[in-house]
Structure 1
């Protein structure tokens, strides 16, 4: 039952786009899929309660379908750091509670399960735990999404070092072009990608270009065209 934890070099690095794209690719190949986003801040009130757009994008790529609460058990309205959003709601986030929720998802036995984090690697859950600890607790290999923009090489290197320091395996990385200006000079852009590939020392799962905003299903399908599935057997 392959499963990976998806993290990013920063907030808005393209984690959800890459995660949804990988799930869409797995569906194309006839695999069952599950996308989990245990914590999401920046959620909106709906008739079904608080829902987060990123979590809904992952839910759309779950085959067979699952309830929203399976994908995103902790949703908070303010678009702020999850531990601060939880504190405002009087909720205490812990690795133990999150681990139980994710294990319930893993128990569904899907061919590919991707657990998307929030923000970057060291996002706090409380005063003593961070979300990276969830990947460690569940012993999940990690997929790193690099937001391709100025400064991404340092961010990617630091995240890679942190993942290694936590004793986890980097199963692969994917680039997401969040700043089109970063690719304006084609030769320099390719040199940057080559530096990332050398630095990260893990399989590149693909480079997703800047995609026009639109229907999440269509965006996931477009991203899938640029990605390969990780080898996590």
Structure 2
């Protein structure tokens, strides 16, 4: 089983979109997959409780069909930082519970688990803990989604440095177009390729369909 943690240079850079695309390609290659969203805010109430659109998308794109609660153990309604939402709800986000859920996912014998973070790499969970600690303790390799927009070079290099400082391997990175009128895209991509030593997994232009976007990815370095 291979476990990857999908993080981003910031919030709203396409982590879910890229994770879905990866899951679609892995399914095409006939791998057993699980998409995992440990913590999500911005959830809507349903007949099954609070549910998050990103977590539902990962659940639908996975080849192993699990319950929503298995895919997203911490769900909060307001679209704010999860640790603040948890405090408002009178809850604590506990790393021990995340590890228990991850062990349960592994018991289903997947080939791949893609764990999608929330926000950027150093997301607070409260009481001095961070979601990056979960990835570190599970010894996951990391996939970085670089949102292609002004400022992405600085954000990408700083995030890569933080991942390396935490002792984890950056297994690859994906460039995802988020700014429609971004100038000098090719020049920025070349700068990213020079600054990031991890494998380049692909550039996704501005698209709406993650299944279509899989054709822009080369996941060979991850297999």
TM superposition score normalised by structure 1: 0.93
Q: Deviations over 1:85-131 (max 9, x none)?
A: 11111111122221221221122221111000000001101121100
- Correspondence 1:143-154 to 2 at 5 A: 143-154=143-154
88-97 or 100-109: which moved more?
100-109
Q: Structure 2: how far apart are the matches of 1:82 and 1:63?
A: 28
Is contact 1:171-1:230 (8 Å) kept? Answer: no
* Contact 1:13–1:146, Cα closer than 8 Å, also in 2: yes
8 Å contact from structure 1 (residues 43, 79) kept in 2: yes
1:22-74 CA-partner distances (Å, limit 9, x unpaired): 00000011111100001000000111111100001100111131111111011
Structure 1 outlier segments of 4+, above 6 Å: none
Which of 192, 199, 202 lines up with 2:188 in the alignment?
A: 192
Change (3 A) 1:230 1:117: farther
Q: Does 1:50 align with 2:50?
A: yes
Give the CA deviation at 1:230.
5.4
Hey, what's the Cα distance between the residues in 2 that align with 1:230 and 1:161?
Answer: 24
Counterparts of 1:146-225 in structure 2, within 5 Å, are 146-182=146-182, 185=183, 188-212=184-208, 219-225=209-215
Partner-residue secondary structure (3-state), 1:45? strand
Structure 2: gaps of 5 or more residues? none
Distance 1:223 1:102 in 2: 27
SS where residue 120 of structure 1 aligns?
Answer: coil
Cα-to-partner distance string for 1:112-160 (whole Å, 9 max, x where unaligned): 1100000000110112110000110100000000011000000001100
For the pair 1:227 / 2:217, whether they are aligned, the reply is: yes
For 1:116 and 1:106, how far apart are their aligned partners in 2?
16
Q: Is the 8 A contact 1:7 1:15 kept in 2?
A: yes
Q: TM-score by structure 2 length?
A: 0.97
Aligned pairs, number? 223
Separation in 1, partners of 2:190, 2:196: 10
